[in-house]
């Protein structure tokens, strides 16, 4: 595990707690830089195209910030920038973070006894060589009926307001109502680990 930290540096282009946790679980040390982008200003027809475009915009924003701070060429070891984005697809419509509690409530009520999919991207940029590659991953999540009282507690807790589609599966309140996850839970949480590992290897 320890050797992962040595040959290269990692910058995570996301301040999301879940993504930070997953990168740490993968054994990486990293610094965090968040991107200043207008996510709503980026629109694409397909969710797969949207999450890649959003990750690219995040990476571009961070690269331009870094260029004003320092010149990468001076660095002996490569720096890998990881940008990611996730959206939820429900009945063909793309859902991003809920605008408010009312929308979050509507979202979760829709998942009750039904299902949704998450589409997540990972984009890796080697800041030393300029290599960049992004891929996406899709996961289907099926739910049992979610009681209204549980939905209200989730809204009160507030976590659902900060995630795509108000969709969480790891929270103790919602876990008993998750019927099946077709794909990996880490992808639903915002960072598919296997895909991230693969892209880091390719970038080096």
Q: Which residues of 46-61 are buried (b: 16+ CB within 10 A; e: fewer)?
A: ebbebbbbbbbbbbbb
Look over the chain and give the mean of its residue pLDDT values, rounded to a whole number: 91
Per domain, the residue ranges of the chain are 9-203
Q: Under a CB-based contact definition with an 8 Å cutoff, are residues 70 and 62 in contact?
A: no
pLDDT tens digits for range 55-90: 999 999 999 988 766 655 566 789 999 999 999 999
CA–CA dist 119, 88 (Å, integer): 6
pLDDT tens digits for range 152-190: 999 999 999 999 999 999 899 999 999 999 999 999 999
Q: How far, rounded to the nearest angstrom, does the alpha carbon of residue 170 sit from its chain's CA centroid?
A: 14
pTM: 0.88
122: closest CA among 46, 45, 202, 179?
202
Residue 85 appears among annotated catalytic residues: yes
Give, to the nearest 10 degrees, the angle between helix 17-25 and helix 193-203.
70
Least confident residue range of 2-16, 35-49, 94-108, 134-148: 2-16
Amino acid 182: pLDDT = 97
What are the counts of helices (DSSP H) followed by strands (DSSP E) for the chain? 6, 7
CATH 3.30.230.10 corresponds to the domain 9-203: no
pLDDT tens digits for range 18-31: 899 999 999 999 99
Question: Which of 85, 137, 157, 186 does the annotation list as catalytic?
Answer: 85
């Amino acid at each position: 595990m320890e050797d992962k930290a040595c040959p290269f540096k990692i910058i995570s282009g996301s301040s999301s707690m879940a993504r930070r946790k997953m990168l740490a679980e993968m054994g990486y040390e990293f610094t965090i830089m968040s991107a200043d982008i207008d996510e709503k200003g980026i629109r694409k027809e397909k969710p797969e195209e949207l999450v890649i475009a959003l990750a690219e915009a995040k990476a571009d924003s961070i690269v331009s910030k870094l260029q004003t701070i320092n010149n990468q060429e001076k660095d002996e070891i490569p720096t890998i920038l990881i940008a990611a984005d996730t959206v939820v697809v429900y009945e063909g419509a793309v859902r991003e973070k809920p605008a408010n509690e009312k929308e979050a409530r509507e979202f979760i009520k829709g998942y009750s006894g039904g299902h949704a999919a998450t589409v997540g991207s990972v984009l890796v940029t080697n800041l030393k060589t300029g290599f960049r590659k992004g891929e996406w991953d899709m996961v289907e999540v099926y739910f049992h009926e979610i009681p209204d009282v549980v939905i209200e507690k989730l809204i009160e807790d507030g976590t659902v307001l900060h995630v795509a589609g108000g969709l969480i599966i790891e929270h103790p309140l919602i876990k008993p109502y998750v019927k099946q996850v077709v794909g990996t839970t880490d992808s639903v949480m915002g960072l598919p680990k296997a895909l991230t590992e693969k892209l880091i290897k390719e970038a080096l």
